[in-house]
Amino acid sequence: MNRKDEHVSLAKAFHKEKTNDFDAVRLIHNPLPQIDVKDVSLSTEILNHKEEFPFFINAMTGGSKKSLQINRDLAFVAKECRLMMATGSVTAALKDESVSDSFKVVRKINPTGFFLANIGAHNTLENAQRAVELFGANALQLHLNAPQELVMPEGDRSFSDWLDNIAEITAKLEVPVVVKEVGFGMTREAMLQLISAGVQTIDVSGQGGTSFTQIENARRPKREMAYLSEFGQSTVISLLEAAQVTRSFEVIASGGIRNAFDIFKSLILGADTVGISATILNHLLSHGVEATIEMIQSWQEDLALLYTMVGKKNTHTLETVPVIFTDEVWQWCQARSID
């Protein structure tokens, strides 16, 4: 099976609603919200434009026949729900023109939508430009996936040029650049390095949902690095790390988002918007396009109710909602002097 198709079927096979660090974030209830639902605006600003809703469909697939259909469906869902969307890595299409339709389809479905293309941080500026041109992407994601590559026998073994590539692409590309993890999370030190390289938008993409060490391990019978299945910093911890970085930059939360409450908690923890991959993919493959649109629309309705519950009329004021942390998140805060 094509590697990208295998990723999709394994991500679906492993996807189950599990406990993660979002459960260790407890809101302190305010019995007097003092606002009306009709006054709430869910909009947010990200990548130099305004988004009506504070979440989006994050990078997943492309590069095969099967993924063409998935990207077509995801782009349709994104259009109907008025969300931005990232495709999976377009590297396959940069090497083989015959699979480029599996990415271009998103633009066909939604000519005016806001789309992000995606490539790995090992790529050159020229590849970054070609990735954007492929379907007229409005922004580019550069992914960091070292543990995934290392678990793959055929994966990359050279990571020494990533930061230089990122600095050059960020400085010279004509569209905004997001540097994202793929489910292993970030630290404040790594974010400071990225900011020093000129990066303005970081997707922390943390542990708690899709695990690419688990997926890559499952693709082969022999290699055993099962101990890395839950490796990395959770999304919650990564957001707490991001909040320690004083220089201003845009923060995207992703990794393990299961429902509107996790989106809401991410926004409270300082995210400017929130990316969802496996939960949407799984719903699409299990229940179809219409049911996925319904799920997302119910999240949009829920979010307006949740903002009201805490007495906040807009996204950027959510950061002042009081929360407490339990269990391992609390221990992480202690160990890293986060108060």
Q: Which residues bind ligand FNR (CB under 6 A)?
A: 7-8, 11, 58-61, 88-89, 118, 141, 143, 180, 182-183, 205, 209-210, 254-257, 276-279, 281
Minimum distance between the CB of residue 255 and ligand FNR, rounded to whole angstroms?
4
Minimum distance between the CB of residue 248 and ligand FNR, rounded to whole angstroms?
23
Of 95, 78, 134, 130, the closest CA to residue 3 belongs to 95
Q: Which is nearer to ligand FNR, 205 or 300 (CB)?
A: 205
List b or e across 95-119, with b for residues whose CB sees 16 or more CB atoms inside 10 angstroms: eeeebbbbbbbbbebbeebbbbbbb
For tokens 């997926």, what's the residue? Answer: 215
Minimum distance between the CB of residue 268 and ligand FNR, rounded to whole angstroms?
18
Q: Which is nearer to ligand FNR, 182 or 269 (CB)?
A: 182
Element (H, E) at 56: strand 55-57
Q: Which is nearer to ligand FNR, 182 or 251 (CB)?
A: 182
Q: Which is nearer to ligand FNR, 239 or 310 (CB)?
A: 239
Minimum distance between the CB of residue 11 and ligand FNR, rounded to whole angstroms?
4
Q: Which is nearer to ligand FNR, 146 or 309 (CB)?
A: 146
Which residues lie across from 119 on neighbouring strands?
Answer: 142
Minimum distance between the CB of residue 31 and ligand FNR, rounded to whole angstroms?
33
Instruction: Write the DSSP assignment of 183-196 as a string of letters.
Output: SS---HHHHHHHHH
Minimum distance between the CB of residue 254 and ligand FNR, rounded to whole angstroms?
5
Strand 25-27 relative to strand 273-276: parallel, antiparallel, unpaired?
unpaired
Q: Which is nearer to ligand FNR, 11 or 303 (CB)?
A: 11
- The total of other beta-carbon atoms located within 10 Å of residue 149's CB is 18
Q: Indicate the residue whose CB is closest to ligand FNR.
A: 209
Integer-rounded Cα radius of gyration of the chain: 19
Three-state DSSP class for residue 45: strand
